[in-house]
Structure 1
Amino acid sequence: MSAIFSRTSVRKYENKEVEGEKIDAILRAAMAAPSAANQQPWEFYVVKKKETMAALADCSPYGGCIKDAAMAIVPVYRKEMMMPEFADIDMAACTQNILLEVTELGLGAVWIGIAPLADRMENVRNVLKVPDHLTPYAIIPIGYPVAEADQKDRFDVTRVHFE
């Protein structure tokens, strides 16, 4: 899977819309993620309005790039589930799937962390009017990258332990 070794965090985007079929593919990839007890706690806000994108950019000190992206996906999760202690793990898996599919489609994205920081989660909740039964997890700005970058090789053999 080449996307694993070519994915980078993209923060600069062309002024170009993301096609509907690509958005659909990204959401399908997100929902294909594994989840504990198959609880699939995720729901997604797809944001394209520039005013909303600008407001989301203010939800995190690292969110400046959001306002220049073509769109953003905001994964949220349901609080009522069989195994709530695994929600963060499930959401990380679906977010990683989003990032990999974005790369596969020739787009770029970056994971803007929101959870577990209560103030950032509340900021996102207020911007998107997220109902109380859902919890904001991340903001993922997506668009066509201005430039390509090579992924740095992060393999470190000293972190591998064989039995």
Structure 2
Amino acid sequence: MYLCDNMDFLDIIMSRRSIRKYRQNKVPEGHIKKILEAAMNAPSRKNERPWHFVLIDKREILDAIPSFHPNSKMLFEAPMAILVAGDLNITRDIFITIDCSAATENILLAAHALGLGACWLGVYPDEERVNGIRKILNLPDNIFPVSLISIGYPDEGRSQVNRFEENRIHYNKW
């Protein structure tokens, strides 16, 4: 059974890689909508769905983020990024990061299924990154930045690596 046009679901999971080099082609709005639909279908505690998404495609914002987020230099090439943030008015506990991380993973998988590349850039718990994102995107106090994802058409190969490690599996006890 195929869930996607070109790949089966397990192939999507197994072949997804972090992409750090992008072509400048704009990501179609239809793809962005599908990616966000996938994000909003992530599981969340008590179905609270505390997430908000900020779409970033202004070059001056993308180019400024690496000044406070040193691992985000791929934003110089990426045509866009998506911030995943949680609403502290909905939930204030650790589950906000877990719920937003589930949405982030769905973004990565949906982007890959659509032929796009993406890279998860951690924001939380680094205070400098959290504060930098809050400031540059003018986030309200109740919106808590969790992760940033660069997205675009890959300008690098995707090598498939077998990452399965039998020695990390334990049955019933350690």
TM-score by shorter chain over 0.5? yes
SS of residue paired to 1:111: strand
Distance 1:120 1:67 in 2: 17
Residue type at the aligned position of 1:32: N
1:65-86 CA distance string (max 9 Å, x none): 0121010000111112256231
Distance 1:104 1:83 in 2: 32
Distance 1:85 1:57 in 2: 27
SS of residue paired to 2:81: strand
Distance 2:139 2:147 in 1: 13
Structure 2: 5+ residue stretches without partners: 1-8
Distance 1:156 1:53 in 2: 36
Aligned to 2:73: 64
Distance 1:63 1:119 in 2: 13
Aligned to 1:22: 31
Instruction: Check the 8 A contact 2:35/2:111 in 1, yes or no.
Output: yes
Task: Say yes or no: does 1:120 pair with 2:137.
Answer: no
After superposition, the Cα gap between the structure-2 partners of 1:58 and 1:18, relative to the gap in structure 1 and judged at 3 Å, is same
| 1:157 equivalent among 162, 166, 172 | 166
Moved more, 62-71 or 144-153: 144-153
Distance 1:64 1:93 in 2: 24
Distance 2:120 2:107 in 1: 10
Distance 2:91 2:140 in 1: 20
Distance 1:96 1:118 in 2: 22
Instruction: Check the 8 A contact 1:13/1:143 in 2, yes or no.
Output: yes
Corresponding pairs, count: 163
| 2:143 equivalent among 134, 142, 146 | 134
Q: TM-score, length-normalised on structure 1?
A: 0.96
Moved more, 140-149 or 53-62: 53-62
Residue type at the aligned position of 1:157: E
Q: TM-score, length-normalised on structure 2?
A: 0.90
Distance 1:39 1:59 in 2: 31
Cα offset, 1:6, TM superposition: 0.9
Structure 1: 5+ residue stretches without partners: none
Task: Say yes or no: does 1:111 pair with 2:143.
Answer: no
Alignment of 1:77-92 (within 5 A): 77-82=86-91, 84-92=93-101
Aligned to 2:156: 147
